[in-house]
Amino acid sequence: MVRAAVLPAVGAPLEITAIELPDPGPGQVRVKLAAAGVCHSDLSLSNGTMRVPVPAVLGHEGAGTVVAVGDEVGHLQVGDSVVLNWAPSCGSCHACSLGEVWLCANALNGAADVYARTADGTDLHPGLNVAAFAEETVVSASCVLPLPDGIPLTDAALLGCAVLTGYGAVHHAARVREGETVAVLGVGGVGLATLQAARIAGASKIVAVDVSPEKEELARAAGATDYVVASDTTAREIRGLTGKQGVDVAVECVGRATTIRTAWDATRRGGRTTVVGIGGKDQQVTFNALEIFHWGRTLSGCVYGNSNPAEDLPVLAEHVRTGRLDLGALVTERIALDGIPAAFENMLAGKGGRALVVF
């Protein structure tokens, strides 16, 4: 029996309770969690913005140590330090055949499985495949990546989602080039990772935007050269900071129609607007045909940073080892399991960066 944060039903409060994990079966491993990040996607799953089989244990950004290995697992051993990968690619679907593993059609098949039970025998699903909001979890070996040397195990949890997403948004989706100007809308965990990634890419001006004035210090520490408190004039302010042209790249990390539209309006003619935030179906963004022609901008979505975790993790690890990427700077609160509901409330209120559950 291990303690976990269980979502009993969509819209219901999380319950911190004991669950029963089975021994790992063929192709599975059991991982003792060192830490798990509290991501906005977990909040979206809990409130129904994104669909998930329930009851479930949420949490998809985690790192820990392998404590048991099932049959047919050859690349992992007990004692290995690992990062959880919530979206493993199957390697055989159409997207994978094109090399677009972040769009794998089968990546979330495991989320529908029953992987554990409550003390009274109720079946539990593993959230986004990995169920990281628990002291231990049992996952497919395909959901586990060896942690490169030299990375603190607790902070490594952030590599599983926030950093892969933010780094990938800059380097894979938007393809920011040295000297370009960048705006990042939304300074949460992913936004902070995006700011650091823009700095690593050599952006000449990095404008951070958030509704909270209190996040300016966090944003500047991550690499922002300018800070704008979100308002009806945000796009105009960003253009004013870039010679009235707009930024080469705007990255939206919120998932709201208003911020997507603002990111688009703040992008220069011929620039790129990349949407990372996950919004609900009710968030409708409108454009007229003439402006699409006139501005010549590119608007694109971004899934998991358009990353290949197996290839990108060693690259990120090297940035961490050299000091270019500071994982600890993304964390504004370290909490226990029972602190997750409060972390959800802070996200709704726009407070802080990443909350990290430390076991």
Please write the tens of the pLDDT for every residue from 296-313: 999 999 999 999 999 999
How many angstroms separate the most distant Cα atoms in the chain? 64
Number of residues that this document lists for the chain: 359
**Residue 213: what pLDDT?**
96
Strands (E), 230-313: 247-252, 267-275, 298-301
**Residue 51: what pLDDT?**
87
Report which secondary-structure segment, H or E, holds 279. none
- Contact between 16 and 4 under an 8 Å Cβ cutoff? The reply is yes
Question: How far is it, in rounded angstroms, from Cα 94 to Cα 101?
Answer: 9
**Residue 52: what pLDDT?**
87
Report which secondary-structure segment, H or E, holds 168. helix 162-168
Question: How far is it, in rounded angstroms, from Cα 309 to Cα 331?
Answer: 21
Question: How far is it, in rounded angstroms, from Cα 350 to Cα 328?
Answer: 19
Residues of the chain with pLDDT under 70: none
Residue with tokens 């998932």: 255
Q: What is the pTM of this model?
A: 0.96
Q: What is the pLDDT of residues 135-147, one digit of tens each?
A: 999 999 999 999 9
